[in-house]
């Protein structure tokens, strides 16, 4: 690992306040927030398999960091089984996946991300049956420099609304050229509340239809990513720009394959997407396709007038 990268602080994912439920995602922070805390104060509520579980008003949260003695695919399948066990009586709204060496070949020669996708898909099918696509929540999967797999989830007591982007083929309908099992996630999930909603935007990159756009060109990929975010935002009912000025609390993670791209990407996003009130982390990470260079995800809380 280059010295400059090694010296950067890792992102800390805090499921609760203080030191409760803090996980190291294995991602160097290039700029911005070094800790992500989306849900405020929580209380521990036990374990399910490898998962540590926490609860706060309206949310069940869980996370685990596990080694891979059985291989990435089987570990992912087992850990997702733990998630389904933990979330019985709840509805999955968001899952974050931090996958070691995501673009490297696994023992069989198949890319690690494809092994992960097969394990995750098989777990969903085993739990929900063949129609499991209707149950898929928003999610992201990025590469971590850790040798362990970290997965965190958020579940809610009410039925969420899962949303697709009209500009993109649903990930779960990708053709077989992307692996033996397609990725298992929705492009976004809306969680309605009595007065306000939460919205989770999945990791979004330069994919149009199911094709990678502008391979290896960060500027053009960022432009396509912003167009995709606009399409998802409209589909969710947030307007074209993810509810700017609407009073919601917005958190963003921007994943960059190359650290040197951060200043230019930040300048463009400050002009076209972010406001001064947003919480933003720029992170160095490998992405789910080897020729993708930038990916953006968002979590919005307190969105008014959205069901």
Strand 294-304 relative to strand 43-48, pairing: unpaired
Sheet strands (E) in 205-293? 207-208, 211-212, 249-256, 279-284
Catalytic residue from among 73, 111, 295, 297: 295
Contact predicate 181/121, CB 8 Å:
yes
Distance CA 80, CA 2 (A): 33
Reported as half-sphere exposure (CB side, CA atoms, 13 A), residue 27 has a value of: 37
Residue in the structure block whose two tokens are 């230019």: 264
DSSP class per residue in 146-173: SSSEEEEEEEESSPPEEE--TTB--GGG
Task: Reply yes or no on whether 297 is catalytic.
Answer: no
Contact predicate 137/200, CB 8 Å:
yes
Distance CA 252, CA 275 (A): 11
Catalytic residue positions?
295
């Amino acid at each position: 690992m280059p010295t400059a990268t090694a010296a950067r602080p890792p992102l800390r994912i805090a499921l609760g306040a203080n030191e409760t439920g803090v996980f190291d995602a294995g991602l160097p922070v290039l700029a911005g927030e070094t800790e992500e805390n989306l849900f405020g104060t929580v209380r521990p509520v036990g374990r399910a398999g490898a998962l540590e579980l926490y609860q706060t008003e309206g949310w069940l949260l869980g996370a685990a960091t596990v080694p891979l003695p059985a291989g990435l695919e089987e570990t992912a399948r087992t850990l997702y089984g733990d998630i389904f066990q933990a979330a019985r009586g709840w509805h999955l709204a968001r899952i974050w996946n931090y996958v070691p060496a995501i673009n490297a070949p696994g023992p069989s020669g198949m890319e690690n991300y494809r092994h992960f996708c097969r394990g995750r898909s098989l777990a969903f099918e085993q739990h929900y049956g063949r129609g499991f696509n209707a149950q898929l929540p928003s999610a992201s999967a990025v590469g971590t420099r850790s040798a362990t797999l970290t997965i965190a989830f958020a579940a809610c007591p009410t039925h969420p609304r899962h949303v697709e982007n009209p500009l993109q083929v649903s990930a779960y309908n990708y053709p077989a050229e992307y692996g033996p099992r397609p990725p298992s996630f929705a492009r976004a999930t809306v969680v309605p509340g009595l007065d306000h909603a939460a919205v989770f935007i999945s990791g979004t990159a330069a994919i149009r239809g199911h094709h990678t756009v502008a391979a290896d060109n960060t500027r053009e990929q960022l432009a396509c990513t912003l167009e995709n975010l606009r399409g998802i935002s409209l589909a969710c009912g947030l307007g074209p720009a993810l509810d700017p000025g609407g009073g919601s609390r917005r958190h963003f993670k921007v994943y960059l394959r190359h650290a040197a791209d951060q200043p230019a990407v930040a300048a463009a996003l400050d002009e076209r997407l972010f406001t001064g009130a947003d919480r933003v982390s720029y992170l160095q990470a490998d992405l789910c396709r080897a020729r993708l260079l930038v990916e953006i995800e968002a979590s919005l809380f307190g969105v008014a007038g959205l069901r």
